[in-house]
Structure 1
Amino acid sequence: MSLVPLNEALSEEEFGGKAVHLGAALRAHLPVPPGFALSVGLVERVSAGEPGAVAQVRGLLDRVGPSVAVRSSAVGEDSANASFAGQHLTALAVRTQDGLIDAVKQVWASGRSEAALAYRRKLGKEGTPRVAVVVQHLVASECAGVLFTCDPLTGADERVIEASWGLGEAVVAGLVTPDRYRISREGLILERAAGEKDLEIQPLPSGGTREVAVAPERVNTLCLNEQRLQELHALATRCENHFGRKQDLEWAFAGPQLFLLQRRAVTRVG
């Protein structure tokens, strides 16, 4: 089958590393938003405009929506030795069936961009990129960011968290200077440093996203309180217990709920 719920994505050759990692997290009862994995073959058929493949994917919006995130899950992406973070397009707040098809085509094409091909060459990866896709319910987050279960630069055995207002793309894309937090393995908060969070990315009701100026009083206000830091620490511990040390997580808070959006191994230490 070329289209499966995320928790049934088992083959990296068919569905790529990101989908398989998210599927494993769902099977471990971690708080991953629901979604579907589109195989390499299905994505290629959609990109070629095959009517049957297009019809199969168009129906996903009713099953996952009303607003979805469309992300690449290329074969070899987010492995223990490489992360393609930032190399492939991500489409956020997709709200129409035609928009979903366009997003899948754009993600497929982004795997063939000069930047992505250059990164593949740097890693010594040969052959044509094989891009699968993840379609997930979009979490309209109040704050979001990344969490490393070890310091990705020094290798120190502590949690490092970067956080900002709105959708996590503001952190991932480097649009703001995020808050930075350090937590010991035992859960002791070692550092809280406010960033310069002068904009946030918000989903639009009509689809897509916009950059919005943050109110001056919130620019340097920490976006994570004690309770949320401890919830992130607990999530990091659960991920490490299940998948091993040195995890790189993307997360989001929407109301009281913490979501795990992506999980991969830390690929740069020291």
Structure 2
Amino acid sequence: MSAPVMTRTTFTLPFSDPGCLDAREVGGKGKGLAEMTQAGLPVPPGFTVSAGAYREFLAAGDLRKRLAGLLARVDLGDAGSVERVSAELAELLAAQPLPEHLVDEISAAYRALCGHLGVPDLAVAVRSSATAEDSAADSFAGEFETWVDITGVDDVLIHVHRCYTSVFAGRVLRYALERGIDLAGVEMAVVVQKVVRARAAGVMFTLDPITGDRSRIVLESSWGLGLAVVGGEVTPDRFIVGKVGLSLREKVLGAKRVEYRDGTGAVPVEEPRLREFCLSDEEALALAALAKTVEKRHHAPQDIEFAVDEDLPDGENLLLLQCRPETVWSGRHRAPKFEQGAGLMSWITGGIRSAAAAATDAAGPETAPGHTHGEAGHDHG
């Protein structure tokens, strides 16, 4: 999939732009997508709204002092205090509109993406990419927000704004306080990326996440967007590939009884597919080869989200959605953050929001019913 012809503006950068390689401005997620795009790897096209736009947003409302004052009131020993302050922070940010010049730039970048693909009101994923995210010491993976199936300029702008409010969500605030991270210093970039129409989707590690064995690549995948993994609705298929020679060493059929086709709700998987792997052996090996290439470029173990796009022909349908450094075994002093029987996808990936669910979210993402975090399939886009 070729990169869109987009004009760089002050605060929006297409993945093909060299400026999109600066993690201080586009966050770990944005940088990872740009690196893969510029390396010629198969990535759905999109652009990043830079951290500079977030700074403009805060400056427009003179918010920094007010945010710092609220943060100073948090008492980590009082769970109620964390939630109360988080709610006040979210209310403060939600009340501040995006500055008009940001509205114009983001709108123009989205329309350029739609024009490149020839799809008016293209369905996109709007994905948080914090500048503190995915650091080796303190990974924020899974703490911030992602929404899928967002269509039209107005909805894109609404969800960029919601990414900004997610910086101070209750779980993020608690996570940061427990690790001594000053959230006032965290800045939010936002990725806007074409949604993949996934026949199957999942995640792969370029080492064994249970043992730390670097001679293996481990993949987990489920039908459709994979959102059912969030609530433990499915057990994904698992593939283990030997890194040297790329040989399939093991595969285990999961229990994939439901799937999400478009992010709006689960549907049953038809009987014949219940007994089928959602990836062919050839697809699993081809994905592992891509993972090996990504690891070689970064000189370190990676975890990588992927999808198989049902709209694209074989040979062009394997897409990489995100990559980031593996943070458990790469820091030798740290113990694994999950039990041996736990699924990978439920651990490493970010929060997922469907457009339908977001539309009912009058109080903001933190208080919405059915709000979930920790899934790969969609954050698919």
TM-score, with length taken from structure 1: 0.91
Q: Which has the higher strand share?
A: 1
Q: Structure 1 pair 78/112, CA: closer, same or farther in 2 (3 Å)?
A: same
- Pairing 1:101-120 to 2, within 5 Å after superposition: 101-120=157-176
Give the 5 Å matches for 1:96-245.
Answer: 96-128=152-184, 129-157=186-214, 158-171=216-229, 174-185=232-243, 186-203=245-262, 209-245=264-300
5+ residue gaps, structure 2, are 1-9, 58-95, 115-121, 330-335, 337-381
**Residue type matched to 2:265 in 1?**
R
Counterpart check, 1:23 vs 2:34 = yes
Given that 2:205 and 2:301 are in contact with CA atoms closer than 8 Å, whether structure 1 keeps it comes out as yes
Q: Is the 8 A contact 2:128 2:144 kept in 1?
A: yes
Match of 2:107 among 58, 81, 86: 58
For residue 156 of structure 1, report the CA deviation from its aligned partner.
1.4
Provide the residue aligned with 1:49 in structure 2.
98
Give the distance between the partners of 2:273 and 2:104, measured in 1 at CA. 44
Aligned partner letter, 1:81: A
Which letter maps to 1:115?
R
* Structure 2 residue aligned with 1:265: 325
Q: How many residue pairs align between the two structures? A: 266
Q: In structure 2, what is the equivalent of residue 92 of structure 1?
A: 148
User: Take 1:243 and 1:170, find their aligned partners in 2: how far apart are those partners?
Assistant: 31
Deviates more, 1:58-67 or 1:17-26: 58-67
Shift of 1:224: 1.0
Cα contact 2:15–2:38 (8 A) shared by 1: no
- Judge conservation of contact 1:86–1:173 (CA < 8 Å) in 2: no
Q: Cα deviation per residue 1:52-78 (whole Å; 9 max; x = unaligned)?
A: 211221233322241111101101112
Deviation by residue 1:98-134 (Cα, 9 ceiling, x = unmatched): 1101111111111210101112223321142311100
Contact 2:176–2:183, Cα closer than 8 Å, also in 1: no
Q: Distance in 1 between matches of 2:230 and 2:203?
A: 8
Pairwise CA distance, 1:175:
4.1
- Specify the SS of the correspondent of 1:80: coil
Question: SS of 1:189's equivalent?
Answer: strand
Gaps of 5+ in 1: none
**Equivalent runs, 1:61-72 vs 2, <5 Å:** 61-65=110-114, 66-72=122-128
1:207-244: CA deviations, max 9, x gaps?
A: x6322221233234211112101211210121122112
SS in 2 for 1:59: helix
Root-mean-square deviation over aligned CA pairs: 1.9
User: For residues 174 and 104 of structure 1, do their structure 2 counterparts lie closer, same or farther at Cα, with a shift above 3 Å needed?
Assistant: farther
Percent identity over the alignment?
36
Q: Does 1:6 align with 2:2?
A: no
Max radius of gyration: which structure? 2
Helix, strand or coil at the partner of 1:142: strand
Residue in 1 aligned with 2:306? 251
Shift of 1:85: 2.5
Query: What TM-score do you get using the length of structure 2 for normalisation?
Result: 0.66
